[in-house]
Amino acid sequence: MENSSVYIIVPVFNEGFTIRKVVVSLLEYGFSVIVVDDASTDNSYSSIKDLNIHYLLHEVNLGQGAAIQTGIEYALTKGDAKIFATFDGDGQHRVEDIMEMITPIEKNEADIVMGSRFLPGAFSNASFIRKTAIQTARIINFLFTGLWLTDAHNGLRVFNRKTASLLDLKENGMAHASEILFRVAKYKLRVKEMPVHILYTDYSRKKGQSIFNGIKIFFDLVFNRIFD
Amino acid sequence: MTAIQILLIAGLALSAIYVYLKFQSVIADAIILLLFIAAGIIFVLFPQLTTKIANKLGVGRGTDLILYVCIVFFLFVLIRMYARIRKLEQTVTKIVRDNSMNAVVKNEKEKARN
């Protein structure tokens, strides 16, 4: 199976510093790359516009969840798209990990493969506070979805067309990560976790999630369940 | 009449006029509005009435009853507004998303032509 039938969705908001490096390394593997620009105000676009990518632009900022959903909907219109992936544009993810995660999808052993920082073989230089926050998020995810995973809100995911067409994310903000799990549980999709490398740099740490974001995500999940 | 009564009645009357002018109401709306304002003015002029009604419902004071009714009413309004905002958010998202996809299609068509 050709790597070009693997469509990587990279949601971008002001990642001008890292996005070109990320996209170039993805293209080196022969993947098809979809960049969804969520109304960045920096040089994100100009730094990658010469590259052979699919580029979609949100004219106003909607949120990472919305950007991913746009990327997924666009990828679904591509007839040659067999495998889909979400990948962060800030350089935290390792491209080699995608190759490992494709295998269970290819062999039809799983519908969605999620990266985990906490499986044997994984690596992440996360701080203690962040690790604690993730453990809390795991528990909240379990309460909302019934899925007990080793990681929470890991942006590196690989999934098949069936999963892509079932996702239909309504959460525009960071709560989309939990919404994905919710759909996985609802449609009984086969989920598998695999160890990945996450590299926190000073740059990405600044853009990372704070405790406040976690609380906001929780309230988004609770209130939006009532109204959808 | 005490000062607060004058203030409240003036407030109610002004709100009624504002609502009527702003929302271009029909006669039916004006009548409903009038009834609400009349009820408000009556309760302001005769606060003992509220206490009588409150006692019948098992509440000690008239003002407490008004407070409870207001809380429930505001809760209802808040929930309704939140639902509308959420719906609006989804509409905006759809428009922005459609625009982004249309732009790509347009670009690809232009590239193919060149």
Could you list the pLDDT tens digit for every one of the 114 residues in chain B?
788 888 988 998 888 888 877 776 677 777 877 888 888 888 888 888 888 888 888 888 888 888 998 899 999 999 999 999 999 999 999 999 999 999 988 777 777 877
- For residue A211 the two structure tokens come to 């405790």
Q: Is A119 exposed, middle or buried (0-12, 13-18, 19+ CB in 10 A)?
A: middle
Per-residue pLDDT tens over the stretch B76-91 = 999 999 999 999 999 9
* pLDDT at residue B25, rounded to an integer: 63
DSSP alpha helices (H): ranges in chain B? 3-22, 27-45, 47-57, 62-113
The model's pTM: 0.82
d(CA B57, CA B46): 18
- For residue A1 the two structure tokens come to 């199976």
User: What is the ipTM, given to two decimal places?
Assistant: 0.86
Q: Is A212 at the interface with chain B, CB within 8 A?
A: no
* pLDDT at residue B105, rounded to an integer: 80
Contact yes or no for A58 and B89 at CB 8 A: no
Contact yes or no for B104 and A70 at CB 8 A: no
**Could you tell me which chain B residue has the CA closest to the CA of A62?**
B93
Over residues A43-51, mean pLDDT: 92
Nearest CA-CA partner of A161 in A109, A84, A87: A84
Nearest CA-CA partner of A66 in A219, A210, A168: A168
Nearest CA-CA partner of A198 in A95, A84, A65: A95
Q: Is A130 at the interface with chain B, CB within 8 A?
A: no
Task: Based on DSSP, count helices (H) and strands (E) in chain A, helices before strands.
Answer: 9, 9
Mean pLDDT for chain A overall:
89
Contact yes or no for A56 and B86 at CB 8 A: no
Cα distances (angstroms) measured from residue A149 to each of A62, A67, A97, A172: 28, 24, 18, 23
Please report the number of interchain residue pairs, chain A to chain B, with beta-carbon separation below 8 angstroms: 41
Residue whose token pair is 């604690």:
A132
d(CA A109, CA A131): 29
pLDDT at A88 over 90: yes
**Could you tell me which chain A residue has the CA closest to the CA of B82?**
A227
Contact yes or no for B89 and A172 at CB 8 A: yes
Cα distances (angstroms) measured from residue A85 to each of A32, A125, A204: 10, 23, 20
Q: Is A9 at the interface with chain B, CB within 8 A?
A: no
d(CA B104, CA B91): 20
Contact yes or no for B103 and A57 at CB 8 A: yes
Contact yes or no for A70 and B97 at CB 8 A: yes
Contact yes or no for A70 and B83 at CB 8 A: no
Among residues 44-83 of chain B, which lie with CB inside 8 Å of chain A?
Answer: 82-83
Q: Residue length, chain B?
A: 114
* pLDDT at residue A228, rounded to an integer: 61
Concatenated DSSP letters of A17-30: TTHHHHHHHHHHTT
Domain ranges of chain B: 3-82
Q: Is B93 at the interface with chain A, CB within 8 A?
A: yes
